[in-house]
Amino acid sequence: MELKERVALVTAAGSGIGRAGAMAMAREGAHVVVTDLLHDRAEAVAAEIAARGGRAEAMSLDVTDDAALEGAILGAARRHGRLDVLHSHAGVQVPGRLDQVSAAEMDLSWRLNVRAHFVAARAAMQVMAPRGQGSIIVTSSNSGVQYDREMIAYCTTKHAVIAMVRQIAADFARRNVRCNALCPGFVDTVFNAGFETQMGGRVALERYVADTIPMGRFGTAEEIGEAVLYLASDRSAFMSGHALVIDGAESI
């Protein structure tokens, strides 16, 4: 097992990509701390991991609460004596152009899509740097390497978090702590609600995916979960500061 005896913490792990990554890491032997804003969803994922023979614990967590976020990460490290992987996944998608997005909505985007990842990474680094090992995975988006139409808050923050990931990677490479950005394209989860509304409904979104993405389909959460496993494991031991784009060639 590639992650045997390792400890991983995942935010927003109650559904979609967060869940898929947690499941993939547990399958490979990691003890996964499953966190989500809704405790019932976190519990359901932890129970599913346990039912498959894995190890997990559930925790409710609001990543916009700095003290709670730092406490969850440092508490997990204290309980288990280590923290090997952080997948900071929580985020928000606010659609709209400059004239359609309020300053409050931009602040919310920044708080969830950049600042919460900063707080989480900073807490994890307190554990990982002294031990001289660790993998921090931050979810960005293929919107962080291209420019969507009428998505100013989302694109701005997703570009920003890639810059932050690269800075962390450069600053801590000699401490053997890796930091990479996960950049999914269209994955068929509820997170696409903003794009779906913007495009005029589910049928229009499906038409866009079929016509615009070269592979002609949505990605699956499980496909992105395998990428999480890759970034968490020693398979990617010489990779840091990278934006791993998985989008069916949409951004080319």
Of 214, 217, 219, the residue nearest 244 (C-alpha): 219
Q: What number of other Cβ atoms are within 10 A of residue 237's Cβ?
A: 11
**Active-site entry in 147, 154, 208, 230:** 154
Residue 143 DSSP symbol = G
Q: How far apart are CA 201 and CA 187, in angstroms?
A: 16
Task: State residue 132 phi and psi, 5-degree precision.
Answer: 70, 30
Q: Is 154 a catalytic residue?
A: yes
Six-digit token string for 58: 């559930």
**Residue appearing with tokens 């509820």:** 190
Sign of the four-CA dihedral 242, 248, 251, 252: positive
Three-state secondary-structure class, residue 146 = coil
Six-digit token string for 57: 């614990």
Q: How far apart are CA 168 and CA 172, in angstroms?
A: 6
Q: Which parts of the chain fold into alpha helices (H)?
A: 16-27, 39-51, 66-80, 103-110, 116-131, 152-172, 193-199, 202-212, 221-232
Q: What number of other Cβ atoms are within 10 A of residue 79's Cβ?
A: 13
Q: How far apart are CA 194 and CA 215, in angstroms?
A: 22
Amino acid at 7: V
List, by residue number, the catalytic residues: 154
